Structures are given as structure tokens and as C-alpha cells.
């Protein structure tokens, strides 16, 4: 009788077991990440998600109120000279990044930044960072929406802080302001930032309410209102002019006088105080209207500018 013996079936190799475990771990990690993303989306305010309706709302506001969509840097300079756009100078509660090419906004948008930033500082312990403001259509990034209101000066972009209490406060504060009609805000992804269009009617000042649940933010807002900081600033008194300094051989003779730059001065401030246009002042001093002024610099003030 012929007896046959079957070969024992080999068990799974260590390589097979390792590959199986890797697949199981990957599935578990993927499930965990998906769950975390769902939780994050649940905490993300609906107001900041962005939509076609949101873009249309900002566009309609700009066109309904007859705002100008500035096309070129020259148009921005002219708007600054005419007082239609004002400089964002920065202070203890907000700063501008070096990448802000045009640090100007409408008066209403600047008022929003000046009012919002102290509450952000109180809640986060650091200044609010503005990454973009007025931007002519010729300088819009390639991925920008053709209906963007940045060219009008009513929009500012804010840096999103890292995940944590500050980010949560910023999101909830902007969502609260959107619900109350102060702004239209969207959290953008490329690059990551918060786009805020200020919906205050031209010529009006909107005093922001205390925002979020942070006690320090509420206290700071009350203090600012009691001290009148949120109200529009009074026009600065004309600054004293310094005596004419000897002109070098290459200088253009200017007979109207000179002005010594003080801390915080911009070319727009100097033009307003001395009664000349920004363009004339910039031309007389061979400077850009958007240039930074150093304290102590003596500027020539043209006559009849």
C-alpha cells in the first residue's frame, strides 16, 4: 500500500505579519485623523467658511456705496494724496508684516483695526498682525478672486495665530462681528490668513463691542471707550517748522521751508500738517509716497504744493 505524505502548510512569515500590522496601524491612524478633522470642522464657525454669497455681499457693499477699485500703484498714491485712503501706521496693539506693499486702507477699515487690535492684544498677549491691506488690481495675486474688494481699501488680511486659545478667540470674535453686521470675514487657506472686509458705511465710525468671553478683552474695550481712543482722532495741530538748512549743490532750491520728521510721521501726515499734497512733497524730496520716514530727517516743503 502506497502511503503519501502531504507537505505541512507553512505559517505566515514575519514579513507578512509585519505588513499586516502596518496596514492595521495605518487604518487606525487614518480613522483617528478623520475623527480629529470632523471635530475641528465642528468647532470652526460657519461664518468664516467663505462662500459665493459672502464674496457677493462684499462686492455689493463696495459697488452700492460707490467705492473705487484702484487699478495701479499710482491710483493708490493719488487716493492717499486725496485723503481717500489713510496709512496703517501700526502701534503697540497691531503691526504690519514686511510683505505689506501698500499699507493703506479706508478710514473705516483703519478704525476697525485700531478698535479691534487692543482687544486682540488683551486676549492673546501679542499684537495683531496685518498681512495685507489696500492692493491695486494690477498687484493682486494670481489666485485672488476677481471680485476681491482689496482694491477698494475696505479689506485687511490678518495673520491666523497657531492653534490654541488665541486662534479660538480670533475666530469667535470675527464670527460675532459678522453676525452683528460689522464685517464679512473668511478664513483663507492659500496662504492661511483671515480676510476681513469692513462693512461700515463711508463717513461713519463703528465702535466695536467687547468681543469673546475673555475678561481682559472686555476690560480693555471698556477702558478704551472711556478714554475716547475708539473715537476718531482729532486732526493734529500744525507742527513747527525748523529753519531752512543749507542746500547742497545738487538740491532743488525750496523757499517755503523745511520740516523735521518726528516719531510716527508718514509722508501723508507731513503733507497734511504743512498744507501741501503728498505727491508734491514726495517729488520735492525724491521719495516714494509709501516710503518710511526716519525720525530727525529734514524734509523740504515746496511752496504752493
What are the structural domain ranges in the chain?
46-227, 234-305
Alpha helices by DSSP H, listed for 185-242, are: 215-227
Taking only the tens place, the pLDDT of each residue in 260-284 is 888 777 888 888 888 888 888 888 8
Right CATH for 46-227 from 3.30.750, 3.30.1380, 3.40.50, 3.30.310: 3.30.1380
**Nearest-angstrom CA–CA distance, 171 and 115:** 16
Residue 242 per-residue DSSP state = B
What would the grid cell of residue 114 be?
A: 485700531
Average pLDDT per block of 10 residues along the chain, 305 residues long: 54 65 67 50 65 91 95 94 94 89 94 95 94 93 89 96 94 92 91 94 89 49 43 36 36 55 79 84 78 77 75
Cα angle, residue 85 at apex, residues 172 and 211 outer, rounded to 5°: 15
What are φ and ψ of residue 147, in 5° steps? -100, 20
By the 10 Å C-beta count (0-12 exposed, 13-18 middle, 19+ buried), 65 is classed as middle
**Nearest-angstrom CA–CA distance, 84 and 105:** 8
**Nearest-angstrom CA–CA distance, 103 and 160:** 19
pTM over 0.85: no
Q: Which residue has the cell 509585519?
A: 18
**Nearest-angstrom CA–CA distance, 222 and 226:** 6
CATH superfamily of 234-305: LysM domain (3.10.350.10)
Topology agreement, domain 46-227 and domain 234-305: no
Amino acid at each position: 500500500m502506497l502511503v503519501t505524505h502531504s507537505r505541512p502548510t507553512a505559517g505566515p512569515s514575519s514579513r507578512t505579519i509585519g505588513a499586516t500590522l502596518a496596514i492595521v496601524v495605518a487604518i487606525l491612524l487614518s480613522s483617528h485623523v478623520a475623527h480629529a478633522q470632523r471635530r475641528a470642522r465642528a468647532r470652526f464657525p460657519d461664518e468664516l467658511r467663505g462662500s459665493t454669497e459672502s464674496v457677493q455681499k462684499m462686492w455689493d457693499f463696495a459697488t452700492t456705496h460707490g467705492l473705487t477699485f484702484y487699478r495701479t500703484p499710482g491710483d493708490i498714491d493719488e487716493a492717499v494724496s486725496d485723503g481717500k485712503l489713510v496709512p496703517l501706521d501700526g502701534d503697540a496693539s497691531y503691526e504690519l508684516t514686511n510683505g505689506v506693499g501698500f499699507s493703506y486702507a479706508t478710514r473705516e477699515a483703519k478704525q476697525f483695526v485700531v478698535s479691534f487690535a487692543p482687544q486682540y492684544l488683551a486676549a492673546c498677549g501679542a499684537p495683531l498682525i496685518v498681512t495685507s491691506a489696500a492692493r491695486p488690481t494690477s498687484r493682486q495675486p494670481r489666485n485672488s478672486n476677481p471680485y476681491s474688494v482689496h482694491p477698494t481699501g475696505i479689506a485687511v488680511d490678518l495673520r491666523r495665530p497657531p492653534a490654541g486659545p488665541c486662534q479660538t478667540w480670533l475666530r469667535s470674535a470675527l464670527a460675532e462681528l459678522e453676525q452683528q453686521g460689522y464685517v464679512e470675514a473668511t478664513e483663507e487657506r492659500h496662504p492661511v490668513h483671515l480676510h476681513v472686509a469692513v462693512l461700515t458705511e463711508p463717513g461713519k465710525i463703528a465702535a466695536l463691542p467687547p468681543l469673546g468671553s475673555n475678561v481682559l478683552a472686555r476690560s480693555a474695550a471698556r477702558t478704551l471707550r472711556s478714554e475716547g481712543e475708539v473715537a476718531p482722532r482729532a486732526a493734529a495741530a500744525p507742527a513747527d517748522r525748523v529753519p531752512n538748512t543749507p542746500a547742497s549743490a545738487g538740491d532743488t532750491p525750496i523757499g517755503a521751508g523745511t520740516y523735521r520728521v518726528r516719531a510716527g510721521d508718514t509722508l501723508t501726515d507731513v503733507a497734511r500738517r504743512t498744507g501741501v499734497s503728498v505727491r508734491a512733497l514726495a517729488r520735492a524730496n525724491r521719495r516714494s509716497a509709501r516710503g518710511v520716514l526716519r525720525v530727525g530727517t529734514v524734509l523740504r516743503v515746496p511752496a504752493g504744493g
